[in-house]
Amino acid sequence: MEEEKKETAAADAVPEEDRFTYRAVDSDNESTVEKADAKYTADNIQVLEGLEAVRKRPGMYIGTTAAAGLHHLVWEIVDNAIDEALAGYCKHIEVTINPGNSVTVQDDGRGIPVDKVAKSGLSGVETAYTMLHAGGKFGEGGGYKVSGGLHGVGASVVNALSLWCEVTVHKDGGVYFVRFEDGGKIKGHLERIGDCSDSGTKVTFLPDPAIFTETTVFNYETIKNHLRQMAFLNGGVRISLTDNRGEQPQSDTFLFNGGIKEYVSFINTGKTPINGEVIFCSGAEEVTILDGTNERIYAEVAMQWTDHYNSDGVYSFCNNISTKEGGTHVEGFNLALNRTVNDYARSFKLLDEKAPNFTTDDCREGLTCVISVKHPNPQYEGQTKTKLGNSEVRKIVSTIVGQQLKQYFLEHPDAAKAVVEKVKTAAKGRMAAQAARETIRKSSLGVTTLPGKLADCSSKNPEECELYIVEGDSAGGSAKTGRDRKTQAILPLRGKILNVEKAREDRIFKNGEIGNMITAIGAGIRDNFDVSKIRYHKIVIMTDADVDGDHIRILLLTFFYRFMKPLLEGGYVYIAQPPLYKVEVKGNAYYAYNDDQLEELKKALDLKPGYPFQRYKGLGEMDAQQLWETTMDPSVRKMIRITIDDAARAEKAFSDLMGDEVEPRKDFISRNAKFVQNLDI
Ligand code: 1YM
């Protein structure tokens, strides 16, 4: 029985749910929207529609009813509180996970309006929570809704998908309360239940298990990561999270007065900056939107170069939503970055007159950058609707960055020169790498000469083929002898492979061990990597269960991450789990993969204290037969499948590990080592 556990190799930089961004699609109701609009403009309530629609097709509103959709409910309510903060009225947001998995979100803003809304005949709170598409603008007006993409539908969607939902508003000296049940039915109208001298909104809801059939259990880490990101993107707002489900409450508080500047520092933890502090550019521009009113588009960009070689460190957002596919804000940034760096280098004669301009990729090597825009009417495009399409944003971002980065360079000549040096090195590396890549391309086109160290398998069907990358020649020898020759290939690695996080690309290609891996896998690298060409559908990293083994494993994962990302995305990479102990009783061998198992084994076999057992210090101590029986035989082995769910999270994990500071690395390795030990319970 094969047991393969999924795990990500990542830490916690950017939240998981960034993978999906869902927005309500309301094509069915387009005509209704227009009619209703004309009728109800006075109150800005767009469509008064029941919540049954949401319960009937929850996926349309929250994307999925699996765990991501469940958490989406929290994001919706938090978004409303963040909007209130962005409007300038709220400083603190508290999220609490209650026993029983209801969630409370509380803010200290103005409180949702409690007055009657003429067109619905209900209070503002009831309107917001029971009417689909109730815009957020009844009452005093002020700041447009920027958080999330649902434009005010959030509250009613959450209510529709909850068993019950309670809203308490403190406003104008009164405490008001309303409760909804069974998917949003008002259970006694909004009522004044007391007096107060503060203001704010508190919402508690319990997701309906009839909708969330997969799970109704909230994940602390998921919520924590999301709230941290919200706190980075909305500097100055204090957001705290408490989990009261366990015996001991757990809690975290996030407050980043530096906003996205601090986000960049956070992502760069452990890396050595090239240009000192984080560079910050920001600005706003007035635009006239469809209904003739003027609104502002805000843009902020924070950036810092480090001595790393990655070129994927640009994270972009619109209205607090991650725009994974980029868009006009990123284009505007790229334009300005390219122009500013080239202009500076040329005007200070840092670039040879005859040399071609630096490319945008050259300028982005080692750059970590967060771009955040707030737009009253964002248009999303692309396959996953995570690409910002508004063309006016290109100009706004490029103007802001163009002017302010130039200014920064002029005021900080040392930083500017360091950046240009870095970009120059990147350009050189790019040219050297181009040449090296050409060599590799040719080699993978022609009759592939497989590396001499590779003991290939006989099957040519990649689906059943496995490549074991084995630490050390001696373990490699045992693996070669013990394996199933038909489906299992062995590539021994001698010592440590090059740290690709730190090394220049051209050096990476020249490294023998890496060259062997590229040829063995046979699908090229980077942009030319073609996952359909891989020669093995399982690539298994088999290292010793010690610190060196951990290190080699991480180096290999970093290599795959940088050069063959689709391998990780497709779940083709595994980590073998060799046993730690062997006990021999009456000629039979028993294996334990961790300390607990060893204890269980002693009990099960009824061994006297002091009965001898072997502790494996390395793979090399196992003979071919043992290695096969314990670690390679598909019918008994345990392996961990590595997947990368979130590129940014992994980026942080890898660079924490590979970066220049020792502490995060030690920390990660020990965490990681523990994680491996705890696996096979
Ligand atoms: C815990 C969730 O919803 N706070 C909140 C919401 C609103 C207001 C203040 C508010 C807005 C306005 C005027 C305005 C509103 N939300 C909605 C809707 N916290 C939370 N705090 N006065 C108060 O925008 O003009 C309507 S008002 F529709 F989004 F739910």
Kind and range of the H or E run holding 314: strand 314-318
pLDDT tens sequence across 204-225: 999 999 999 999 999 999 999 9
| Nearest alpha carbon, ligand 1 atom 24 | 137
Choosing from 47, 77, 84, 133 the residue with most ligand 1 atoms within 8 A of its CB, the one to mutate for a pocket test is 84
- The pLDDT of residue 618 is 84
Closest CA to 123 of 107, 139, 110, 109: 139
Closest CA to 48 of 130, 145, 136: 130
Q: How many A from CA of 328 to the centre of ligand 1?
A: 30
6 has a pLDDT exceeding 60: no
Report the nearest atom of ligand 1 relative to the CA of 106.
Answer: 1
Report the nearest atom of ligand 1 relative to the CA of 127.
Answer: 28
24 has a pLDDT exceeding 50: no
Closest CA to 222 of 212, 210, 233, 230: 230
Q: How many A from CA of 75 to the centre of ligand 1?
A: 15
CA angle 485, 490, 492 (to 5 degrees): 155
> Which residue do the tokens 């080239």 mark?
342
- The pLDDT of residue 658 is 59
389 has a pLDDT exceeding 80: yes
Active site annotation includes 471: yes
CA angle 511, 517, 521 (to 5 degrees): 150
Identify which has the larger pLDDT, 394 or 188.
394
591, 581 Cβ separation under 8 angstroms: yes
Q: What is the share, in percent, of the chain residues with pLDDT greater than 70?
A: 80
Q: How many A from CA of 83 to the centre of ligand 1?
A: 8
Q: Which two tokens stand for residue 636?
A: 């008994």
640 has a pLDDT exceeding 90: no
- The pLDDT of residue 311 is 81
Q: How many A from CA of 187 to the centre of ligand 1?
A: 21
| Nearest alpha carbon, ligand 1 atom 6 | 112
Q: How many A from CA of 650 to the centre of ligand 1?
A: 36
pLDDT tens sequence across 540-559: 999 987 778 877 887 788 88
340 has a pLDDT exceeding 90: yes
Q: Which residues have a Cβ under 8 Å from the Cβ of 566 and sit 6 or more positions away?
A: 529, 531
489 has a pLDDT exceeding 50: yes
Centre a 10 Å sphere on the Cβ of residue 220 and count the other Cβ atoms it contains.
Answer: 16
Q: In terms of pTM, does the model score above 0.75? A: no
Report the nearest atom of ligand 1 relative to the CA of 109.
Answer: 21
Round to whole Å and give the CA distance between 243 and 293: 42
Identify which has the larger pLDDT, 277 or 150.
277
- What would you measure as the largest C-alpha separation in the chain, in angstroms? 88
Residue 35 pLDDT grade (very low, low, confident, very high; cuts 50, 70, 90): very low
Choosing from 172, 201, 202, 239 the residue with most ligand 1 atoms within 8 A of its CB, the one to mutate for a pocket test is 201
- The pLDDT of residue 651 is 57
DSSP 347: H
Of 546, 595, 599, 600, catalytic: 546
Active site annotation includes 548: yes
Closest CA to 564 of 680, 495, 642, 493: 642
Centre a 10 Å sphere on the Cβ of residue 123 and count the other Cβ atoms it contains.
Answer: 23
Choosing from 105, 112, 116, 117 the residue with most ligand 1 atoms within 8 A of its CB, the one to mutate for a pocket test is 112
| Nearest alpha carbon, ligand 1 atom 30 | 128
Centre a 10 Å sphere on the Cβ of residue 179 and count the other Cβ atoms it contains.
Answer: 17
Active site annotation includes 660: no
562 has a pLDDT exceeding 60: yes
Q: Which two tokens stand for residue 19?
A: 């993978």
Report the nearest atom of ligand 1 relative to the CA of 156.
Answer: 30
Q: How many A from CA of 138 to the centre of ligand 1?
A: 9
Choosing from 83, 105, 133 the residue with most ligand 1 atoms within 8 A of its CB, the one to mutate for a pocket test is 83
350 has a pLDDT exceeding 70: yes
Rounded alpha-carbon distances, angstroms, from residue 438 to 72, 151, 238, 501, 625: 46, 50, 52, 22, 42
Q: Which two tokens stand for residue 644?
A: 């990368």
Of 12, 307, 331, 548, catalytic: 548
Q: Which residues have a Cβ under 8 Å from the Cβ of 464 and sit 6 or more positions away?
A: 486, 487, 537
- The pLDDT of residue 642 is 83
- The pLDDT of residue 102 is 98
Phi, psi of 219 (to 5 degrees): -100, 120
Active site annotation includes 646: no
Report the nearest atom of ligand 1 relative to the CA of 87.
Answer: 24
Q: Which two tokens stand for residue 396?
A: 């706004």
| Nearest alpha carbon, ligand 1 atom 17 | 136
- The pLDDT of residue 40 is 31
Region 338-362: mean pLDDT is 95
| Nearest alpha carbon, ligand 1 atom 15 | 112
Round to whole Å and give the CA distance between 190 and 173: 15
Identify which has the larger pLDDT, 60 or 232.
232
Handedness of CA 559, 562, 566, 570 (dihedral sign): positive
Region 24-50: mean pLDDT is 37
Q: How many A from CA of 127 to the centre of ligand 1?
A: 11
Winning range, highest mean pLDDT, from 119-133, 444-458, 548-562, 642-656: 119-133
179, 145 Cβ separation under 8 angstroms: no
Residue 20 pLDDT grade (very low, low, confident, very high; cuts 50, 70, 90): very low
Of 362, 544, 550, 656, catalytic: 544
Choosing from 80, 93, 172 the residue with most ligand 1 atoms within 8 A of its CB, the one to mutate for a pocket test is 80
Q: How many A from CA of 85 to the centre of ligand 1?
A: 10
Q: How many A from CA of 182 to the centre of ligand 1?
A: 23
Q: Which of 4-13, 174-183, 576-585 has the lowest mean pLDDT?
A: 4-13
Q: Which residues have a Cβ under 8 Å from the Cβ of 175 and sit 6 or more positions away?
A: 168, 169, 192, 193, 194, 195, 196
Q: Which two tokens stand for residue 278?
A: 């984080």
Q: How many A from CA of 136 to the centre of ligand 1?
A: 6
Of 471, 646, 651, 656, catalytic: 471
| Nearest alpha carbon, ligand 1 atom 25 | 141
Binding pocket residue ranges, ligand 1, CB within 6 Å: 77, 80-81, 84, 105-107, 109-113, 128, 134, 136-137, 139-142, 152, 155, 201, 203
Round to whole Å and give the CA distance between 514 and 556: 9
Report the nearest atom of ligand 1 relative to the CA of 155.
Answer: 30
2, 641 Cβ separation under 8 angstroms: no
228 has a pLDDT exceeding 80: yes
482, 627 Cβ separation under 8 angstroms: yes
Handedness of CA 316, 319, 325, 328 (dihedral sign): negative
Strand partners, 250: 243
Report the nearest atom of ligand 1 relative to the CA of 135.
Answer: 28
- H helices of 446-587, in order, are 473-482, 505-510, 512-521, 547-563, 565-569
Rounded alpha-carbon distances, angstroms, from residue 86 to 142, 260, 264, 375: 10, 15, 21, 13
DSSP 246-298: SSS-EEEEE--TTTHHHHHHHHTTTSPBSSSSPEEEEEEEEEE-TTS-EEEEE
Q: How many A from CA of 112 to the centre of ligand 1?
A: 4
Q: Helix, strand, coil shares of the chain as percentages rounded to 5? A: 40, 20, 40
Rounded alpha-carbon distances, angstroms, from residue 213 to 21, 217, 381: 21, 11, 31
Round to whole Å and give the CA distance between 392 and 457: 56
At 503, is the secondary structure helix, strand, or coil? coil
Closest CA to 89 of 194, 237, 259, 260: 237
516 has a pLDDT exceeding 90: no
Round to whole Å and give the CA distance between 445 and 172: 75
Report the nearest atom of ligand 1 relative to the CA of 152.
Answer: 29
CA torsion angle for 5, 6, 8, 9 (degrees, to 10)? 40
| Nearest alpha carbon, ligand 1 atom 2 | 81
Q: Which residues have a Cβ under 8 Å from the Cβ of 163 and sit 6 or more positions away?
A: 181, 182, 183, 206, 207, 208, 209
Rounded alpha-carbon distances, angstroms, from residue 124 to 37, 156, 306: 18, 12, 50
Q: How many A from CA of 490 to the centre of ligand 1?
A: 61
